[in-house]
Amino acid sequence: MAQRTMREIRAGEVPIDGGTAIQEDPDRPVFRGNGSYDYVCVSCGNVLAQAMDPEYMTRRVRLRCGRCRTVNVSADVPVTPARRPRPGAGER
């Protein structure tokens, strides 16, 4: 199984509609699938997601490692989310 190293989130990089999955047992991955990649923690190399396809590991998926407590994101490139307009901003 091929491995992909996740990356650590940057300060202020919070997805609007995403959440963080917490790995409670460091010896068990948070997600298991039937794909071709294992996703490992950027800091300690612990397996966080096993046999997953990249289509399911988007920028909205964040995982906190149960071994070192690093919050990882699987996206290869950082994406700056578009700002939503404030309610009533264009109604004058």
Strand 47-52 vs strand 37-40: parallel, antiparallel, or unpaired?
A: antiparallel
pLDDT tens readout for residues 17-53: 778 999 999 999 999 999 999 999 999 999 999 999 9
33 in a domain, yes or no? yes
Strands (E), the chain: 2-5, 7-8, 19-22, 31-32, 37-40, 47-52, 61-64, 71-73
Count how many domains the chain has. Answer: 1
As given in the structure block, the two tokens for residue 76 are 């290869």
Domain residues for 41? Answer: 2-73
Q: What is the per-residue pLDDT for 59?
A: 79
60 in a domain, yes or no? yes
Radius of gyration of the chain (CA): 15
14 in a domain, yes or no? yes
